[in-house]
Amino acid sequence: MKKTTLEITVGAFLLAGFISFSWLAVKMGDINPFASETYPVTARFTSISGLKEGTTIELAGVVVGKVGQIELDAEEYEAVVHLNIDKTVELTDDSIASIRTSGIIGDKFIKLTQGGSEIFLEAGDEIDETESSISMEELVSKYIFDSE
Amino acid sequence: MLKLVARLGENFLYLLETTGRMGLFFGASFASIFRPPYSIYAIVRQIYFFGARSVTVILIVGLFTGMVLGLQGYHNLKQFGSEELLGSAVALSLIQELGPVLTALMVIGRAGSAICAEIGIMRHSEQIDALECMAIDPLKFLVAPKFVAALISLPVLAFMFNIVGIFGGYLAGVVLLGVSEGSYFQGMYNSVEWADIRLCLIKSLIFGVLIVWITTFKGYYLHLSRTGVFGAEGVSRVTTDAVVFASVTILVWDYLIGSLILS
């Protein structure tokens, strides 16, 4: 085999590997250098049971961001969720953030509902109106024990 | 009775000796990678042999593995009415487990056996002694480029395997069995995390080192192997040994890495 053919083959091989790796990393690993920029807002919930970091945030059913860090406020015993919202989406300061489940056994996600105010949230602001996650078990047990 | 005890002791000593020799062999050959002169061209040739020539077999195996996953996954998930999970099931099992492991097994079969036999024959025909006489470090000259080549080739092959496997799952699940294309890919994008891709990368790097380590070691110390036969038969036995030992080690390490990193 001639030296150049060998080098071309190896080069093509490495290139193919690099392309496969970056496709996987960008598409699935959420490592995206070209991602649209986001701004952070926070929201407090009494319970976020089942919500994970990295889950989607939807506004009118369209994905507009991802859940960042989740912390516990040790004084108020509330969950503080950092939301990363796309820069293109402006939220009013009376928006409502609620935790919903897709389907009956599906994953939890955050649903945003736009308010009517004329003041918009800026980076670092907090969404005041929140609805915590609804636990199927609690609902079922409430129904069972209340009906006695 | 005394003979039996002696036999046990002999076996244990041999095991200890081999383990130590393997460790020293690994240390010496890995350290020689970083010692000049660096021969880039030797590495390129090894990548060609290890990686580029394995592409065809990896593509075929990957495609059919993905198709089987798509087919089996579809029939199992259908019982729960959750066919939309097919994409994530196929992608996760490929990226976390099957991609790196099957790639490693194919590379052992294709390249591992070849390098073991090659080095074994060099040992048998005293070419390694000749290298030493010319003050060329045989570890640096023969083994080090193979380590580098495996470290580069294995991840590349594993990622190709993943991509082709995902495409195979798409063929079987979406084209043939009628799962919706959107839910196949979207489920995949949502469930696969960077951690899974990193796991695949770590696994294939470790497997690359293990493959070269075991197969070159077995060939290099052909004359010390306890089968007692030298020459053509010795090489064939040592090669068989190396392939079996390397395959088993890969599967054991797959579990170990998985349990260490996932926990």
- The pLDDT assigned to A66 comes to 83
Which tokens belong to B181?
A: 């294309």
| Residue A130, number of CB atoms within 10 A of its CB | 20
* More confident call, A134 vs B196: B196
Average of per-residue pLDDT across A94-104: 80
Selection from B248, B218, B206, B208 nearest residue B25 by Cα: B218
Instruction: Answer whether residue B230 shows pLDDT above 80.
Output: no
Joined together, the tokens standing for residue B68 give 């089987």
Q: What is the pLDDT of residues B98-114, one digit of tens each?
A: 999 999 999 999 999 99
Return the number of CB contacts < 8 Å for A and B. 72
CB atoms B196 and A6 under 8 Å: no
pLDDT at A2 (0 to 100): 67
Which chain B residue is nearest to residue A31, measuring alpha carbons? B194
**Beta carbons of B48 and A6 less than 8 Å apart:** yes
Between the alpha carbon of residue B232 and those of residues B121, B189, B220, the distances in Å are 8, 52, 14
pLDDT at B263: 63
Query: What's the average model confidence in pLDDT over B214-242?
Result: 83
Residue A9 forms contact with B (CB below 8 Å): yes
**What tens digit of pLDDT does each residue of B19-43 get?**
999 999 899 888 888 888 878 888 8
Across the strands, what pairs with A6?
none
Residue B157 with chain A: CB contacts under 8 Å: 17
Res. A103 pLDDT band, cuts 50 70 90: low
- Residues 6+ away with beta carbon under 8 Å from A54: A30, A66, A67, B193
Residue of A nearest to B91 (CA): A28
Q: How confident is the model at residue A148 (pLDDT cuts 50, 70, 90)?
A: low
With contacts defined as CB-CB under 8 Å, which chain A residues touch B155?
Answer: 17, 21
Helix (H), strand (E) at residue A83: strand A78-86
pLDDT at B175 over 60: yes
Q: Which two tokens stand for residue A43?
A: 């929201």
* Identity of residue B97: E
**Interchain CB contact of A25 with B (< 8 Å):** yes
Domain range annotation of chain B? 39-262
Instruction: Provide residues of B within 8 Å CB-CB of chain A.
Output: 44-45, 47-48, 51-52, 55, 91, 95, 152-153, 155-157, 159-160, 162-163, 188-190, 192-194, 196-198, 201
The answer to whether residue A52 neighbours chain B at the CB level (below 8 Å) is no
- Cα angle A33, A39, A41 (rounded to 5 degrees) comes to 140
pLDDT at A140: 82
- Lowest-confidence pick of A12-21, A47-56, B59-68, B211-220: A47-56
Interface predicted TM-score (ipTM) of this complex, two decimals: 0.73
